[in-house]
Amino acid sequence: MRSFRFTVSVVLFLLSPAAFTRSEAHTMDAPKTAEPKSGAQVSFETMKTLAGEWEGPVAVAEMPEMSGGKPFHVSMRVTSRGNTLVHELQEAGTPLDPTKYDHPVTMLYVDGDRLNLVHYCDAGNRPHMTGKMSPDGKTVEFEFADISGSMQHGHMHHAVFTLIDASHHTEDWTFIMGADKPVHAHFDLRRTN
């Protein structure tokens, strides 16, 4: 019986917060070797620097009537303990009313050695793209990988983010209309906060 009590005491001590803290402190003192970041991780870290609020005009080459109108607002925030970047787009000054206004949401994340982008489109589908950073570290380009949902109303097919400086970046999005007709939208965005 005495050995049982001793065993229980040792187990309870090892599970106590004081023991955990000592154990944790010991491992924190051990030298850590940083593993080199993959290209996808470096690209994602670059994309996360865009977190904030942005506004600017859009130019649509195939539809000049859409160019020069109201500016667009882009909100980007890092979430999920730094594992996801959320990108939200809407016409500046419009309420968040999905029954009247477009408000696509895009999620960026790293999975293994790939930087992924999933665009939750107002066309009712979810294109998935994978991205790579340019050698100069200023552009991240996303190529179409696959899609979920109907392509009846077209789908987003390509995206390019170009960092000009900490307060200025551009986004180029290519939407494919019904008969494989591409529509290119160029957003020239300035940081508002």
* 112 and 129 share one domain: yes
| Structure tokens given for 86 | 């959320």
* 25 and 108 share one domain: no
* 71 and 5 share one domain: no
* 44 and 26 share one domain: no
Q: Is 102 helix (H, G, I), strand (E, B) or coil?
A: coil
* 93 and 177 share one domain: yes
Contact predicate 10/3, CB 8 Å: no
127 forms beta bridges with 147
* 11 and 53 share one domain: no
Q: Percent of the chain having pLDDT more than 70?
A: 83
Q: Give, as one character, the DSSP assignment of residue 61.
A: T
Number of domains observed in the structure of the chain: 2
pTM: 0.80
104: nearest Cα among 113, 115, 117: 117
CATH code of the domain in which 144 resides? 2.40.128.20
* 27 and 48 share one domain: no
* 158 and 69 share one domain: yes
Residues in CB range of 57: below 8 A, 6 or more apart: 67, 68, 69, 71, 72, 187, 188
Which H helix or E strand runs over 4?
Answer: helix 2-15
Q: Which one-letter amino acid corresponds to residue 69?
A: G
* 113 and 25 share one domain: no
pLDDT digits (tens, 9 = 90+) for 127-140: 999 999 999 999 99
The span from the CA of 181 to the CA of 179, in Å, is 5
* 89 and 183 share one domain: yes
* 28 and 43 share one domain: no
The span from the CA of 95 to the CA of 109, in Å, is 27
pLDDT digits (tens, 9 = 90+) for 60-108: 988 877 777 789 999 999 999 999 999 999 999 888 787 788 889 999 9
Question: Which structural domain range is residue 15 located in?
Answer: 1-33
* 11 and 62 share one domain: no
pLDDT at residue 31 tops 70: no
The span from the CA of 169 to the CA of 50, in Å, is 8
